[in-house]
Amino acid sequence: MLTPTRLTAPLHLRSGGTSVVLDTSDGGLPRVVHWGPDLGPLDDDALRGLLAAACAIPVSGGLDVAVPVTPLPEASTGWSGTPGLAGHRAGAGFSPRLRTTAVDGPTQGDDGVLRVTTHAVDPQAGLGVDVDLELHPSGVVRLRAAVRNTADTPFDLHGVLPALPVPDTATELLGTTGRHLRERSPQRLPFVAGSHVREARGGRPGADSTLVLVAGEQGFDARRGAVWGVHVGWSGNHRFAAERTPRGDAVLSGGELLLPGEVVLQPGEQYVSPWLYGSHGTGLDELASRFHTYVRSRPQHPRTPRPVTLNTWEAVYFDHDLDRLRALARTAADLGIERFVLDDGWFGSRRDDTRGLGDWEVSAEAWPDGLHPLIETVTGLGMQFGLWVEPEMVNPDSDLARAHPDWLLAVPGRLPVPARTQQVLDLGRPEAFAHVLARLDAILTEHDIAYLKWDHNRDLIDAGHGHLGVPGVHRQTHAVYRLLDELRARHPGVEIESCASGGARVDLGILERTDRVWVSDTIDPVEREQIQRWTGLLLPPELMGQHVGGPVSHTTGRRHALSFRAATAFFGHFGVEWDVTQATDDERAELATWIAAHQTHRDLLHTGTHVHDEPADRALRVDGVVAPDRSAAIFAVTQLTTSVTSPPGSVRLPGLDPDARYDVRPLPPGNTIEGHGRGPLAWWDEGVRTTGRVLQQVGLRAPTLFPERTVLVQVRRTDAPAAPGTGGADAARPTSGGIA
């Protein structure tokens, strides 16, 4: 007979300003009594008091027992929302009742992570479950569950959706939606009783997915209101849910969305869910800061300065002319650019986007002498060389598709609806996987390539695997992970960007294997202001590709000043997407100044805490980064549209030490005021010296700017040494070649 583990007091995990309290006293899965702000040190009596204080009572018309909210909520215990574990065994075992057999932990490793693993079984359903819960020094919690089939017949798994509870004060939800060229559009709605579900069924998170699902106090913003948010670290189909039951219990849950029959566990087989990540804070900035701290703590997180990158796509498209590209490379090096990336069109018959995809051989037509002459020019100029690939896709008009039509991810007898005249290569087939791995490995072995732009330009629709046409997204996602892992093992010095029609595959699963994401295919700075802001809810800026486009946006047709284009890209992984050989001498000189300024300040930009003000005037934006020791900061003040009033009001500079004294002044090259102001701004020319409390609570009068203009403001603590990478205006000079 099963003897469940019983603890005399709840477990209390504390780290990074977060407390997680678990109760395992009833023998079932641990009940999550609290997830949120640190509760301070609590002895056993205080913890038992917390448990009693949080215990609900039965009510009229309801169950005779309290319903526990566990990391895998169970219908068998009375949970009326989405079950955390769903499936069946030929109709039986549909409602598991898990009993804990052992609890390992909490333990703390050398990495400072607190870990608890709960082992549970349901002998009648023939299932064993291990639930891993981790609390990281950042304060981020992550959960996953492993489900084993312990019986002698198959178990058809429908879903594993870990969950975290939120309190009844969380009455508003925030998520994101979007489309190609307009990812990460925020949307809010009330968190009422019932289920709010967001699903991604395109084989990738998608441009329309929610990056983080947030619940919080009514009216929360960047700096105000308690918030809780979750992210699913998975690059295939996924599901988020925010649910509030009639009893008042509320959870945020998420995991892989499994298609019918996609995972059938044979006797002894196991399924491990993706990690569900959770963060909280007072305001969205604190929630995001915990995510950023976690992401930066990973062993594989980029530690070297992020090279300023030029990508050739909007400069030349498919016109791969060696002389033209060499001229572009020389101009790029003169500007101080550090990485040169050759985009689509270098392989097979790929002279446009309708053919050749999948034929990963250097085109003898476009490159009669191979890629080596261009690579030698690029590296000889002191830059790294990068290359575009899209290994998961294939054009029907390609040698690969003609030779192996059965390698397409499709239901037998038909092809999926076309997108961009391409189909998906079924990497779940061992022979297709081996072919792509061999071709990419050969390219990286033969050429001096430091970077791959790894694209993924269509959804996985009607994605059947094998001659039976069973669902293939789960298998495909794991195959992509294996492919990336194997290439990284063979070529550890190569960095990889995750691009998917822009920002359609942004998640912590793909970022376990890649070094940055391409935030969006639009470089229009107006669109990028919003897209980058909400991508930053999860990712720190050094992982976000942010480029300066040409004077006229290729995706919107809008024309913008170079200063606005450059300032919008300034805080992230900075780059250029523009035929700079066609720029004027003045434009090149200005761009070189922006590149040099970014190189001077990128240590601060890519290690600091990112903050946002919420001006009453919604025509204004204030985004900033504050050094970890709060000795310095840089802020961008942006006029997006015209304001109702003129001149504009004040903007606040959050995140500073309230008791410290700071020197505040414009930061070149973002120090030019273009607007209708008819006199000087009192503090602009000479700067101002005051306290952090004044700057956060009273603020500074904003400059009067034309719409779609940005200025930069530098803040330095005057009673402490400046932080690294915060050189003065005289340090913002053009450089050429090399890695800074």
CB-CB contact of 368 with 317 (8 Å): no
> Do 427 and 474 meet the contact criterion of CB atoms below 8 Å apart?
no
669: preceding bond cis by omega (within 30 degrees): yes
Distance CA 167, CA 59 (A): 19
701 and 670 Cβ atoms separated by less than 8 Å: no
CA dist 499 to 233, 317, 457, 521, Å?
16, 17, 8, 9
User: 521 catalytic, yes or no?
Assistant: yes
Residue in this structure with the two tokens 């219990």, named with its chain if needed: 249
Q: Residue 167's closest CA among 18, 47, 34, 10?
A: 34
One-letter amino acid identity for 317?
Y
- Token couple for 344: 């689509």
The CA radius of gyration of the chain, in Å to the nearest whole number, is 27
Are 134 and 20 in contact by the 8 Å Cβ rule? The answer is no
SS3 letters across 140-198? CEEEEEEEEECCCCCEEEEEECCEEEECCCCCEEEEEEEECCEEEEEEEEECCCEEEEE
Phi, psi of 276 (to 5 degrees): -105, 120
Which residues are within 8 A (CB) of 159 and not within 5 positions of it... i.e. 6 or more apart?
Answer: 85, 86, 87, 239, 255, 256, 257, 258
CB 616 within 8 A of CB 693: no
Task: List, in sequence order, every residue forming a beta bridge with 572; answer none if it has no partner.
Answer: none
CA distance linking residue 542 with residue 553, whole number of Å: 23
Backbone angles phi, psi at 227, to 5 degrees: -135, 150
502's tokens: 């822009």
User: In the structure encoding, which two tokens stand for residue 592, read together?
Assistant: 């070189």
**Catalytic-labelled residue, pool 455, 459, 515, 623:** 455
Count Cα neighbours of 374 within 13 Å in the Cβ-side half-sphere: 28
Is there a contact between 726 and 605 (Cβ–Cβ < 8 Å)? Answer: no
Give the chain's largest Cα–Cα span: 85
**Which of 691, 721, 712 has its CA nearest to residue 570?**
712
| Amino acid identity, position 22 | L
- Given 521, 524, 623, 657, which residue is catalytic? 521
Rounded to 10 degrees, what is the CA torsion of 190, 231, 460, 468? -110
Q: Report whether 653 contacts 613 (CB < 8 A).
A: yes
DSSP string, 534-581: HHTTTS-GGGEEEEEE-SB-TTT--B--HHHHHHHHTTSEEEEES-GG
Output the CA–CA distances (angstroms, integers) from residue 729 to 229, 246, 596, in the order listed. 39, 59, 11
C-alpha pair distances (Å), 353 with each of 345, 421, 453, 483, 501: 8, 8, 16, 24, 13
Catalytically active residues are 455, 521
